[in-house]
Amino acid sequence: MFEGIGAKLFSSVVSLSLLLFSSFQGNDPRFTSVTVQKTGSYVYLSGSLHSAFENDFPSIFSSGAQIPVHFALSVRQGSKTLAQRRFTHSVSFDTVTGTYEVYKSGGAQSFQSDKVEEIIAEVARFRFGIPYQPSWGEVNIRIEASLPKVNFRELNKEVDLMVLWKHQKPSTKVVVDLRKAQ
């Protein structure tokens, strides 16, 4: 019990330190342009995270640490959960070559660039596919993004990256009738 309180206190102290002693600015991420497409036995959800990776993220992406962005996708019909999936986009930076790489699970896609702006645009875009049953009919599809705690070797500390999103997990919900979706 005291460990949990201590961890939250430490996280708050780190958050306060970032706010007081750096040029820290939190982001207000939100999902935009979310579309649903049905192909064969899969339904695809695509779109982007807007205002998620500005401010301090170029420095964080350049740190050399692997920076994951987690997405949780759930499909519900009423109170019944029909499917749940987790997808991760990871950003890494090779300090020797100066090259960034975004790896996207769920499609085994990789994107490389030496420009952080291109990496930010790529890590913000998503396209996730999940198998569905024609009998599902009308469903609620919810997607939520989150950031983990990451250990930065230079600091010798674990940092909760959610502080960069003001501890707010962006989410969106789409209602779609899979019998009619294209």
DSSP conformation letters of 40-69: TTEEEEEEEEESSS-TTHHHHHTTSS-EEE
Tokens for 71? 């997405």
Residue type at 17 in one-letter notation: S
Tokens describing residue 27: 């982001």
Q: Tokens for 42?
A: 């899969």
Query: What pLDDT score was predicted for residue 57?
Result: 93
pLDDT, block means (10 residues), the chain with 182 residues: 42 40 74 90 93 93 94 95 95 94 82 96 93 90 96 86 95 90 70
Residue type, 26: G
What DSSP string runs through 119-171? HHHHHHEEEEEEE--GGG-EEEEEEEEE--EEEETTTTEEEEGGGGGTT---E
- The amino acid at residue 134 is P
Q: Report the alpha-carbon angle 115-117-122, nearest 5.
A: 100
The whole-angstrom separation of Cα 47 and Cα 29 is 13
Q: What are the chain's domains?
A: 26-177 (2.60.40.10)
3-state secondary structure of 77: strand
pTM of the shown model: 0.83
Q: For residue 23, what pLDDT is reported?
A: 54
CA distance 90 to 102: 6
